[in-house]
Structure 1
Amino acid sequence: MSAAIANYERWRKFKALDPELRSELEKIRNDGGEIEERFGSSLEFGTAGLRGTIAAGTNRMNIYTVRKASLGLARFVIKNAKRPWSIAIAYDNRRKSRIFAEAAAGVFASNGIKALVFDEIQPTPVLSYSVLHHRADAGVMITASHNPKEYNGYKVYWKHGGQVVDELALAITKELDAIEDELGIEGMSVRDAEASGLLEWIGHKTVDSYLENVLGLITERAAIRNHAKLPMVYTPLYGTGARLVPEVLCRSGFEGVRYVEDQMIPDTEFGNVKRPNPEEPEAFTEGLALAKKCGANLVMATDPDADRLGAMSKENDGSFRLITGNQMGALLIDHLLAKPGLNEARTRGSVLIKTIVTSDLGASVARKKGIEVVEVLTGFKYIGELIDRYAATGEKKFFFGYEESYGYLAGGFVRDKDAVQIALLVAEMAATLADRGLTLGSRLDELYEEHGYFVDGIINVSLEGIEGQKRIREIMSSLRAEAPYVVGVNRIISTADYQEGMIRFTDGRDPERTGLPLSNVLKYVLEDGSWICIRPSGTEPKLKIYVSASAKDRTAAEEKADYLKRETQRMVMARG
């Protein structure tokens, strides 16, 4: 009997199994492939936690895998924190989110750890803030971010308010691996945990404190007054941004914001939005329709847990342009550096933190104003880790952090990407640009004229299931075993292997250390300054290929980027 079949039978014979999950198991009883997918492995504790399809199985998100993750985290906290222990818990509006949150709280309580649980759905940045605000030892956010409705996740934060970095995640994984039977894990009921003082409901006081910090980021009050009725559109895509984003916009004086009404009600199914991802133009369909109706020049959208923000800007011909994550990061840096009273003395020691796969346009804008640029591995957890280090040592001042995947942070009172504060800053930026007769799109064009045209792209190679994961490993191994020297006709001048921690050059120079944690990432820099980065996704069954090209004019940059995309995909898919 295979391990998958044995696990399947163990679950099927468990008398107290959740009835809904038992029904699922009966339906797949004669489907060997489905049993292998669900029970052939355990859901991996990857980028800061778990993420997967909601279903029965050890390789799926369900109440038993949530309890297992919670027990592993509880054991880690007990070993690495001082009494009295506490863990903050928040959740979004996805399927089972509240159930999973209460299941986690029950396990923590049964292990003597106080659970600080929000009494209603909240954005991810509020969870990050609450860990710091309540001085909790850890935090858990039940969310699958922008994934389709069938998914949910379990994101883990440490006491600094940021997602757990690799070293902590590995230690928590070891605790999980020591748990042999996820079905036998029991937790206190909500009532018993409350009665024992091990479950405390938190809510408006914490949120109010967070909002005061967000509102404190605003400085351009004159521009906002001048353009209070500036028409703009916002949609939370049926998610948690529905309350807090309108509140900060209203309290800051923006009176012209129109909301996509049917998407303002949190919905587990996300209405008619197939993928609630503000990176994709399709998510803006209803927002664009409203913008055209009310004459708005700006449409903003946040993902279900309100940590990512996307925007579209109206062009001169009446069409709308999607502002990419790389472009929005550069615009925000430009906006923040243009604020009144910001001189060299105030920016001295300040740093911009960006990931290694983020465009160099924002870095160029920052360096021109004397801001140091620091690069980290892909993932906002590394940005949060640096903010915490700088806050503790005082060696540098955090100015701004962002990544290409539509995640940004300006206020260090949160240690994760925060679409609530960024929605407010984007609205403020729109008001200041309106003073000059500009939009986000026209200001972006000015930045390109000043710094050169940067064209960036991502190729997502989806490789589903166990076989897909095997193929991804084979591709990465092949690229290391037989390192490429060219991409198409472009010569590679350096290769950074972040798993080895070394950068190797083709001109005979001695290798250099990356100075970053080890990670399964390869980055190639080409002779014309373009670069390519390849890594497995930490949250989805994909191989991600990033391409960045620059030139003096738009056409040349676009042609160069398109060529690199084609040649890189051809090179990668020929491996493994």
Structure 2
Amino acid sequence: MNWQTEHERWLHFPELNQELRQQLQAIGDQSELEDCFYKHLEFGTGGMRGIIGPGTNRMNIYTIRKAAEGLARFIVQHGDEAKNRGVVIAYDSRHKSAAFAMEAAKTLGYHGIQVYVFESLRTTPELSFAVRYLHAFSGIVITASHNPAAYNGFKVYGEDGAQFASEDADVVVAKVNEVENELTIPVSEEAVLKEAGLLEIIGETVDQAYLKQLESLIVKRDVIDQVAEDFTIVYTPLHGTGNIPVRKGLKAVGFEHVHVVNEQEHADGGFPTVKYPNPEDPAAFSLAMEYGKKLGADILLATDPDADRVGVAVQADGDYKLLTGNQIGALLLHYLITQKKNDLPKGATVLKTIVTSELGRDIAAAHGIETIDTLTGFKYISEKIREFEAQGDRSFLLGYEESYGYLIGDFVRDKDAVQTCLLLAEVAAYYKVKKMTLLDALSEIFKEYGYYLEGLESLTLEGREGVEKIAAIMSDFRENPPMHLREGEF
């Protein structure tokens, strides 16, 4: 596509949103302008994500409407039942999230599709739960997960609360790509939809149902009771959605001494205290570690903006050490297996992604439990859970990936940091009763199942130049794969 033509099309559209027009006119750098229009923001199998701003390659009300229009056409194709069951929409603390959520609702509502929108920000896992709880046909969450503040996104879910399975996802992508002009997509007014009963605002009822399910995950309530008086947690939502559900969940299961990092407690799409609101980044824990040292906290917990990922830091020689995603997964899995060994469901199975450590497989195998690998992305773990339900020969025990994503209770069909915070706190309490930290517990696991060393290097390549460089690297890797690896290279 010709970016200059697209730029002119937007600039001369008479009804262009005034804020976007002003932003467009203020761009003086031609390379930035080109990046805004050189392509359409890609809608993939899980949705789309991009920088907020004007243009076809940016997140704005028009690209949101285009995505929602594609989903609407998919739903209409499935008939009146699908339209009546409708779509649940949640949004996080990022800039424009609430506005984007309502634009999606207005686009869907125009097609006569029932829409449920949360009254205020909610986590991605609660959106997944809500789709199942309300028996909706689909769900949307407006979030860019742990990306920097300039980003936002649009994720789509199916009726089982998981991101769309591959076949349906391909159809939705095709429907989105069929939309010829994102600027002229018709929408209904919010008031009109409410009057027609097509737009319902939801909140407390779903919250309480979700909290009740969270409480059911606790394995040993007596362990929590034993340490309740002297077990201290420092938690940071990193300016995101986790603040209320994590604190309510921890309190509901018996953890009384939960201290929130004040500077990061309130929702703020600018994420002013961190460069990246990502619990995988040690810098995101710097304030929590200061709190931990002052309070003598047993564990530090951090969730990303939409609360689907969680990191944990534990006491280590007067300081705190951040555990890796693989290590957290090993601790959770070992605890579930050993503490539920007489109560494990028939055909209990562990699900992990292909890039996740084999330590979990070794732990499971030692207890006669099978581990199945999936492709990277939690949607593939959810697909397996759906397969287990259909076939009836296996039961889901735990699903996880190395990038801080875990699922314990399948009443949610995406990674759930709120669930994980509760179970991690219970695991830490269990070992405290034994006068051990999570780091001590991990050492014991290594001694029993084998030692695993891991490392991670992350590169950020942005803009058109970054996309082209990534494509070139991947092409070269496929065409010229390494034939051998020398010791010390990785």
TM-score when normalising by structure 2: 0.96
CA-based RMSD: 1.5
Equivalent position to 1:44, from 42, 45, 52: 42
Match of 1:268 in 2: 269
Match of 2:88 in 1: 88
Is the 2:263–2:273 Cα contact (8 Å) retained in structure 1? no
Structure 2 residue ranges without an equivalent (≥5): none
Matches within 5 A, 1:132-143: 132-143=132-143
Give, in whole Å, the separation in 2 of the partners of 1:463 and 1:239: 25
TM-aligned CA deviation for residue 481 of structure 1? 2.5
Give, in whole Å, the separation in 2 of the partners of 1:398 and 1:227: 30
Is the 1:347–1:371 Cα contact (8 Å) retained in structure 2? no
Is the 2:236–2:301 Cα contact (8 Å) retained in structure 1? yes
Query: What SS does structure 1 have at the residue aligned with 2:425?
Result: helix
Query: What SS does structure 1 have at the residue aligned with 2:411?
Result: coil
RCO (CA 8 Å, sep 6+): is it higher in 1 or 2?
2
Query: What SS does structure 1 have at the residue aligned with 2:477?
Result: helix
Give the letter for the 1:115 counterpart. V
Deviations along 1:487-520, one digit per CA (max 9) or x if unpaired, are 235xxxxxxxxxxxxxxxxxxxxxxxxxxxxxxx
Structure 1 residue ranges without an equivalent (≥5): 490-562, 566-576
Give, in whole Å, the separation in 1 of the partners of 2:456 and 2:125: 26
- 1:158 equivalent to 2:158? Answer yes
Matches within 5 A, 1:133-532: 133-229=133-229, 230-315=231-316, 317-340=317-340, 342-343=341-342, 346-488=344-486
Give the letter for the 1:367 counterpart. A
Match of 2:130 in 1: 130
- Percent same amino acid among aligned pairs? 45
Deviations along 1:269-299, one digit per CA (max 9) or x if unpaired, are 2231221111111111111111100111210
Give, in whole Å, the separation in 2 of the partners of 1:481 and 1:263: 46
Give, in whole Å, the separation in 2 of the partners of 1:442 and 1:70: 49
Is the 2:250–2:422 Cα contact (8 Å) retained in structure 1? yes
Deviations along 1:364-406, one digit per CA (max 9) or x if unpaired, are 1111111110000000011111112212331210000000010
TM-aligned CA deviation for residue 347 of structure 1? 4.4
TM-aligned CA deviation for residue 112 of structure 1? 1.1
- 1:56 equivalent to 2:81? Answer no
Shift in alpha-carbon separation, 1:37–1:412, aligned structure 2, 3 A: same
Match of 2:7 in 1: 8
TM-score when normalising by structure 1: 0.82
Which structure: greater strand fraction? 1
Give the letter for the 1:243 counterpart. I
Deviations along 1:389-442, one digit per CA (max 9) or x if unpaired, are 212331210000000010000001000000111100011111111111111111
Is the 1:109–1:199 Cα contact (8 Å) retained in structure 2? yes
Give, in whole Å, the separation in 1 of the partners of 2:335 and 2:79: 40
Give the letter for the 1:106 counterpart. K
TM-aligned CA deviation for residue 348 of structure 1? 3.6
Match of 1:547 in 2: none
Match of 2:29 in 1: 31
Give, in whole Å, the separation in 1 of the partners of 2:244 and 2:31: 43
Query: What SS does structure 2 have at the residue aligned with 1:425?
Result: helix
TM-aligned CA deviation for residue 85 of structure 1? 4.2
TM-aligned CA deviation for residue 176 of structure 1? 1.4
Give, in whole Å, the separation in 2 of the partners of 1:59 and 1:360: 39
Give, in whole Å, the separation in 2 of the partners of 1:431 and 1:384: 29
TM-aligned CA deviation for residue 33 of structure 1? 1.5
Give, in whole Å, the separation in 2 of the partners of 1:261 and 1:47: 37
Greater Cα offset, 349-358 or 18-27? 18-27
Is the 1:314–1:321 Cα contact (8 Å) retained in structure 2? yes
- Number of equivalenced pairs: 487
Dislocated runs of 4+, deviation >6 Å = none
